[in-house]
Amino acid sequence: MTTERLQIFDTSLRDGEQAPGFSLRIDEKLRLARQLDALGVDIIEAGFPIASKDDAESVRRVAKEVRRPVIAGLARSRRADIECAGEAVEGADRSRIHTFLATSDLHLEHKLHMSREQCQEAAVDGVKLARQYTDNVQFSAEDALRTDIDFLCQVVEATISAGATTINLPDTVGYSTPDEIFDFFTTIITRVPNSDKAVFSAHCHDDLGLAVANTLAALRAGVRQVECTINGIGERAGNASLEEIVMATRVRSDRLPFATGINTEAIYETSQLLSALTGEAVQANKAIVGRNAFAHEAGIHQDGMLKDRRTYEIMKPEDVGVSQTTLVLGKHSGRHAVQNRCVELGYELSRYELDQIYQRMIRLADAQKTVGDEDLVAMIETVHTEETESESTAAGAKSA
């Protein structure tokens, strides 16, 4: 099976930063952009320059100081937006203008007060203007999945003819299901006569928890650029998670034969940096980067992990930059895990001592949920002390 290369378009600094509570200062954006460079993303969408002076300046700084990736600036299909974006990304070694316009009748009628004809004209004009600044132009049809398919095909064909090299068809409100996404992209790519002249991109939101699944379905339909964010941050319920998409293609290459340029060992570090900059922690059970992603408490799981990690882990924690698997001691843990941790702490226990410590650990776990190393060492020392005192008492009684 042939492996094809995917383009990873990271929009943590744009769509991700638009989420409530996730705004970043210019120096913080630059720090995250450098980390995204180290991670190996292909395109960094650095911001929406027309939105504010700070946003424009942050895009300029990223374009000037982060040299390897393509640096993109977002712009509506309006002259002022595109000129501002063009100026902001001018200093990049490789620049992109990402221009967008809603195409669904819902958005055209109620938000833009624009006809379909006016929409297509504005989209084409926007792409043509963007091409005056860079030959790398992306057009996005906002709310594409709820757009009339015949009209959308016309817009896509026209914007490619106007010079768009990437066509992004986003599931803006996270409404679609994987089978719909597959049929949608298959139809567009098949019906648009010049579709081979552009790379198609998926930008899926997670309102129904399907962003990653929808993105992977889009890949099967011919999409070769995925738009995603670190930790899945973004508007409302967020975007497709970069780490989940990348690791899905790595772990299930038999079903998803795609390669990326991502240095997966930098994933966890990047996730942690984003959390530190925003002050927003990752949920404990978040796939790949959550605190519990490589943690096991259930006794059956811990026993299996100690015998062969493949019994309950489909990837190595070190593959994503996590130092090691964690066997959490709690009320569901078994004796095998307790014994293993005691040995790691330097204690060889008799069967009697292990039983005593295990029973005490379960009682403590019922009271405080988890048992740490300090708790375990205290139990071991107490059991040793009690055993020594018992032996001394027995010896004293025997000598008397």
Are residue 273 and residue 301 in the same domain, yes or no? no
Q: Are 371 and 330 in contact (CB under 8 A)?
A: yes
Are residue 29 and residue 56 in the same domain, yes or no? yes
Are residue 301 and residue 261 in the same domain, yes or no? no
Please name which of 241, 186, 251, 187 lies closest in space to residue 218, comparing C-alpha atoms.
186
- How distant, in Å, are the alpha carbons of 74, 104, 118, 142, 143 from that of 108? 20, 6, 10, 10, 10
SS3 296: strand
SS3 167: strand
* Radius of gyration from C-alpha coordinates of the chain: 27
Whether 284 maps to a domain, the answer reads no
Are residue 37 and residue 115 in the same domain, yes or no? yes
Please report, for the domain that includes residue 18, its CATH number: 3.20.20.70
Whether 41 maps to a domain, the answer reads yes
Are residue 84 and residue 225 in the same domain, yes or no? yes
pLDDT of residue 337: 82
Q: How far apart are CA 290 and CA 285, in angstroms?
A: 5
Are residue 89 and residue 191 in the same domain, yes or no? yes
Other CB atoms within 10 A of residue 2 CB = 4
pLDDT of residue 371: 80
Are residue 204 and residue 351 in the same domain, yes or no? no
pLDDT of residue 364: 86
Are residue 126 and residue 211 in the same domain, yes or no? yes
**Backbone dihedral region of 223: left (phi > 0), alpha (psi from -120 to 50 degrees) or beta?**
beta
**351-367 as b/e: b if 16+ CB within 10 A:** eebbebbbebbbebbee
Are residue 316 and residue 225 in the same domain, yes or no? no
Distant-in-sequence, close-in-space partners of 179: CB < 8 Å, separation ≥ 6: 217
Whether 399 maps to a domain, the answer reads no
DSSP string for residues in 200-218: EEEEBB-TTS-HHHHHHHH
Are residue 249 and residue 332 in the same domain, yes or no? no
Whether 206 maps to a domain, the answer reads yes
Question: Of 251, 278, 305, which residue constitutes the final position of a domain?
Answer: 278
Are residue 199 and residue 124 in the same domain, yes or no? yes
Question: Of 234, 250, 278, which residue constitutes the final position of a domain?
Answer: 278
Handedness of CA 250, 256, 258, 262 (dihedral sign): negative
Whether 400 maps to a domain, the answer reads no
Whether 285 maps to a domain, the answer reads no
Question: Of 278, 310, 329, which residue constitutes the final position of a domain?
Answer: 278
Domain span at residue 153 reads: 4-278
Amino acid at 268: Y
Whether 288 maps to a domain, the answer reads no
pTM score: 0.85
pLDDT of residue 41: 98
Structural domains of the chain, count: 2
Are residue 268 and residue 352 in the same domain, yes or no? no
pLDDT of residue 312: 72
Tell me the CB-side half-sphere exposure of residue 62, using CA atoms within 13 A.
Answer: 39
CA torsion 281-286-288-290 (nearest 10°) is 40
The pLDDT tens digits along the chain (400 residues) read: 678 999 999 999 999 998 888 889 999 999 999 999 999 999 999 999 999 999 999 999 999 999 999 999 999 999 999 999 999 999 999 999 999 999 999 999 999 999 999 999 999 999 999 999 999 999 999 999 999 999 999 999 999 999 999 999 999 999 999 999 999 999 999 999 999 999 999 999 999 999 999 999 999 999 999 999 999 999 999 999 999 999 999 999 999 999 999 999 999 999 999 999 999 999 889 999 987 777 776 666 776 767 887 877 888 889 899 877 777 777 888 788 888 888 888 888 888 888 888 888 888 888 887 787 788 888 888 888 877 767 666 655 565 5
SS3 166: strand
Whether 90 maps to a domain, the answer reads yes
